[in-house]
Amino acid sequence: MDFDEAGKSLSLEKDEYIELVEFFFPAAEIDINKLMTANEKGDTELASDAAHSLKGAAGNLGFMELSDLARSIEERARNAQVTGLSLKIKELKDKIAIIEEAFEKHKNS
């Protein structure tokens, strides 16, 4: 992922974009934890809300693949389709980890 280009496409200075991305990771972790709790409890409303939050945050930063995955989870939760939610949550976690690793490399380069 080209973080410099993503920031430019959002009309943000490099430092502004970096700061926003740094705020994203702890917020995403909170949403993931809510999704895991929702999955354990079968709480489709909580799952939908957490996925919606993650979808918006990821989309706002240009992480469209992650945003699309969160959108699909949100839609499934709204339709009370919780089968396979654990796999989708793992997929979200994996994608976030990949983004975070790439971001750390970019930030330190």
pLDDT digits (tens, 9 = 90+) for 32-86: 999 999 999 999 999 999 999 999 999 999 999 999 999 999 999 999 887 788 9
- Residue 81: per-residue pLDDT: 84
- Residue 83: per-residue pLDDT: 78
d(CA 69, CA 82): 14
- Residue 37: per-residue pLDDT: 94
pLDDT-derived band at 107 (thresholds 50, 70, 90) equals: confident
More confident residue, 81 or 20: 20
- Residue 63: per-residue pLDDT: 94
pLDDT-derived band at 5 (thresholds 50, 70, 90) equals: confident
In the block, residue with structure tokens 């957490």: 50
pLDDT exceeds cutoff 90 at 12: no
Of residues 20, 19, 22, 17, the one with CA closest to residue 6? 17
Domains present along the chain, CATH in parentheses? 3-107 (1.20.120.160)
Query: Is the CB of residue 89 less than 8 Å from the CB of residue 35?
Result: yes
- Residue 7: per-residue pLDDT: 86
Of residues 74, 101, 26, 94, the one with CA closest to residue 109? 101
pLDDT exceeds cutoff 90 at 1: no
**Three-class SS state of 61:** coil
